[in-house]
Amino acid sequence: MIDIGIEAQKFMLVFFRVVSVLWLVPLFSSRYVSVVFKASLSLLIAFLLYGSVNIAADILKDPFSFTLLVARELFIGITISFIVKIIFSSVAIAGDIISLQTGFSFARFMDPFTMTQVSVIEQIKNLLAIMIFFAIDAHYIVFQAIAVSFKTLPIGAATFKEPLLNYIINATTRVFSLGFKIGAPIIVTLFLVELAFGMLSRMIPQINIFIEGVPIKILITMILLTVSLSFIAPVVAGLFKGMDTDFMKVMRLMV
């Protein structure tokens, strides 16, 4: 005989893991995506995965145990979405560094997706990352990771050890190295331009480098941004395609 209470708790645990992933993945976490849509999509995915999830009835003995399981499922979902967030943050950092070099960091506006102040270059990079994310079907990798997580990490079986914390810390430090890698063509070129302007100011002190250099750096940035897309897009796409490896590595650390 089917215990309705046990089955309802099982579905809720599946739902909490799914919703914690989708709620924090960029674009899905945007305020422009309605709460109704995000909740409905999470319910649909949870319903599709519900039949393939096994859970021991004895771990749902009391409300306290259920609350601990909910917290654990939320943490698992947040950890999975954290992998995706790292890539988007790396792209944003690349755009922020370029904006700082060109002077665009002084002109910021409100990003409707994140509701934060961003520069023009940073917003261009963010939109490029979102387009690549959906163009290469990287969202399917996220959905697949959610499905695989219930086989690799059954409900109530995940453990949180020191290696997982070390991996999260190391992954966070990768944000800056990936940001420099993504923006390397423009960052290095602008550094050489700054070096050339510094040498020119020493040779010809009468030239106001600050005033004369800003439009030149902006022109060079726009040209390089167009030319370097053929390099940046494959790098970002490769990072998104490699998410499945990172997902599996995180899941193995929680076993």
Rounded average pLDDT over 199-216: 76
The reported pTM is 0.82
How high is the pLDDT of residue 189? 86
Rounded average pLDDT over 126-149: 87
Query: Can you spell out the DSSP letters for 31-62?
Result: TTS-HHHHHHHHHHHHHHHHTT----GGG-SS
Answer yes or no: are the C-beta atoms of 32 and 112 closer than 8 Å: yes
How high is the pLDDT of residue 1? 46
Taking the domains of the chain in order of start, what are their residue ranges? 4-183+228-253
Rounded average pLDDT over 78-90: 86
Answer yes or no: are the C-beta atoms of 119 and 99 closer than 8 Å: yes
